[in-house]
Amino acid sequence: MIVSYCKKCKLDSEGTVCTSCGKRASAAGVRDVWRIVRVPGADAGTWRSVAGGVLLAALLLGGGLVLLERLQSTQADFELHVSGILSAVAILAAVCFLLAGALLMLQGREEIRYTLDMTGAHSQTWHRASYLRSWARLQSARMETAILSRDGSKYVVSEERHIRWQDIHEIKYVPSAGMIKLYHVRHLAPFILRIPDEEYDTAEAIVKKHAKIV
């Protein structure tokens, strides 16, 4: 949704014209905002990322231990020990995956608020104020920063992300999944914009307008 800020009235209005004074906002005062609600423990993409991370760690650890054992042992000892090493790594990987899954399930519902403005893309992730939900995100519980919502519940910010347009070196548009991936480093750890269907075209147009990929 396009929202503009009127400096004169100190008021946010939907669209580019102030609903109070009727003045059109400057380009710097116009931004695209939207929000989504997600549950990390019910998100298939999150589970795939966790599984991929655990698998990669297991392969690196297992490969390193097998190589170390091969360098230090005779052929007979190596053949005797290698299966035990791989079994131990597999068990450790399974335990790590189950632990990560438990943490995901404990995180509960979260709301991500996105903003596209003249400077870049921004996001804030909010969740209900709870020691358990903060710890499940491996974060300290900052209850003193909690903000009261309209329904009387308290929420805290668990994550903020920002990327400037000039720092973006690659963009991938995935309309079928409602995503735009902004890469500070090509192919690595993108800033993902998750966008509702009705907001996608507007967000894509703004990204294409401001992000100048060389």
Residues 54 and 80 both lie in one domain? yes
Residues 163 and 173 both lie in one domain? yes
- Report pLDDT for 111: 93
Mean pLDDT of 69-79: 83
Question: What SS3 string covers the chain?
Answer: CEEEEECCCCEEEECCECCCCCCECCHHHEEEEEEEEECHHHCHHHHHHHHHHHHHHHHHHHHHHHHHHHHHCCHHHHHHHHHHHHHHHHHHHHHHHHHHHHHHHHHCCEEEEEEECCCEEEEEEEEECCHHHHHHCCCCCCHHHCEECCCCCEEEEEEEEEEEHHHCCEEEEEHHHCEEEEECECCECCEEEECCHHHHHHHHHHHHHHCCCC
Number of folded domains in the chain? 2
pTM of the model: 0.79
Residue 29's Cβ-side half-sphere holds a number of Cα atoms within 13 Å equal to 19
Residues 88 and 180 both lie in one domain? no
- Report pLDDT for 74: 83
Per-residue exposure over 60-74, b if at least 16 CB sit within 10 Å of its own CB, e if not: eebeebbeebeeeee
Name residue 116's beta-bridge partners. Answer: 32, 121
The answer to whether 143 and 156 are in contact (CB under 8 A) is yes
Boundary of a domain, candidates 90, 106, 122: 106
Boundary of a domain, candidates 55, 85, 106: 106
Residues 112 and 162 both lie in one domain? yes
> Is 80 a residue whose pLDDT tops 90?
no
Residues 67 and 114 both lie in one domain? no
- Tokens for 188, please give them: 């690595």
> Is 146 a residue whose pLDDT tops 90?
no
Range with the poorest average pLDDT among 7-21, 31-45, 52-66: 7-21
103-145 tens-digit pLDDT: 999 999 999 999 999 999 999 999 988 888 989 988 887 777 7
Residues 23 and 113 both lie in one domain? yes
Task: Tell me whether residue 173 is exposed, middle or buried, using C-beta atoms within 10 angstroms of its C-beta: 0 to 12, 13 to 18, 19 or more.
Answer: middle
Residues 202 and 119 both lie in one domain? yes
Tell me the average pLDDT of the chain: 89
Give the range of the structural domain holding residue 203, as residue numbers without chain letter. 2-39+108-210
- Tokens for 94, please give them: 């399974």
Residues 80 and 94 both lie in one domain? yes
Residues 101 and 50 both lie in one domain? yes
Residues 120 and 15 both lie in one domain? yes
Per-residue exposure over 146-162, b if at least 16 CB sit within 10 Å of its own CB, e if not: beeeeeeeebbebeeee
Residues 64 and 164 both lie in one domain? no
> Is 150 a residue whose pLDDT tops 80?
no
Residues 62 and 91 both lie in one domain? yes
**CATH number for 189:** 2.30.29
Boundary of a domain, candidates 60, 91, 106: 106
